[in-house]
Amino acid sequence: MAEQYPTLAGGQRLTASLLRSMLPQWARKTSDTSRAATTTPADDPHLTWTVDANAVYQCTGWIKYDGPTAADLLVTWTIPSGADGEWYGWGVGHSPVIAFSNTGVAQLDTASSRGYPIRAESLDIILNQRSVGCLGVGSILVVQIGLTLRVGSTGGTFALKWSQQTSDATAVTVYTDSALRLDRIA
């Protein structure tokens, strides 16, 4: 006897395939990736998924990285044609990000007893890239990621895409165990 699946509102059949697509999907870096002397973002080889047409996703997680102070890390996304959404990358700022010291004095890009300046703007996933600061090779930092992706009538590849903000011969590295979780929410 064939399996019977209920019909959802709108006439869509609830199938094993649809249920699997609604489970959280994790992508975790299984090895370090280094990029030197490039300002052209490319898909990360580990932090990538295939997303369904006409679906809405949320993605959260963190990226562990380091690099030369002059290079910084540039983050953007590969999304299917017709997709849209909003995202943020909450990480160490760089010039001209302004923070305030514990005495209330404005300062540029300086670690203080109050921590580092942080970038936290909401960004259009199509139009905006986000760069976060590097404090030098060996000074490992993280950037927290959050986003909503609305996929149009064409499904396809969704991936973290990154490079150096400013070309430098010393590599920026995104480290093993950086991880992002993708949840289909509609």
pLDDT digits (tens, 9 = 90+) for 113-169: 545 667 667 889 987 888 888 888 999 999 999 999 999 999 999 999 999 999 999
pLDDT digits (tens, 9 = 90+) for 20-74: 777 899 999 999 999 999 999 999 999 999 999 999 999 999 999 999 988 999 9
* Bond before 41 cis per omega within 30 degrees: no
DSSP class of residue 80?
A: -
The whole-number pLDDT of residue 91 equals 86
Maximum average pLDDT range among 10-14, 97-101, 129-133, 143-147 = 143-147
Q: What does the alpha-carbon distance between residue 185 and residue 103 come to, in Å, rounded to a whole number?
A: 44
**Per-residue confidence (pLDDT) for residue 88, from 0 to 100:** 92
* Cis check: omega of the bond before 80, within 30 degrees of 0: no
SS3 category, 108? strand
CA distance 161 to 89: 13
- Quote the CA–CA distance of 186 and 170 in Å, as a whole number: 42
Residue 125 backbone class (left: φ over 0; alpha: ψ -120 to 50; beta: rest) = alpha
What six digits make up the tokens of 74?
A: 């540039």
Reduced to 3 states (helix: H, G, I; strand: E, B; else coil), residue 102 is coil
Asked whether the beta carbons of 91 and 143 are under 8 A apart, the reply is yes
Rounded Cα distance between 162 and 38, Å, is 10
Joined together, the tokens standing for residue 56 give: 């809405």
Residue 86 pairs with which residues in a beta bridge? Answer: 124, 148
Span 77-94, pLDDT tens digits:
999 999 999 999 988 876
Expressed in angstroms, the distance from the first to the final Cα of the chain is 31
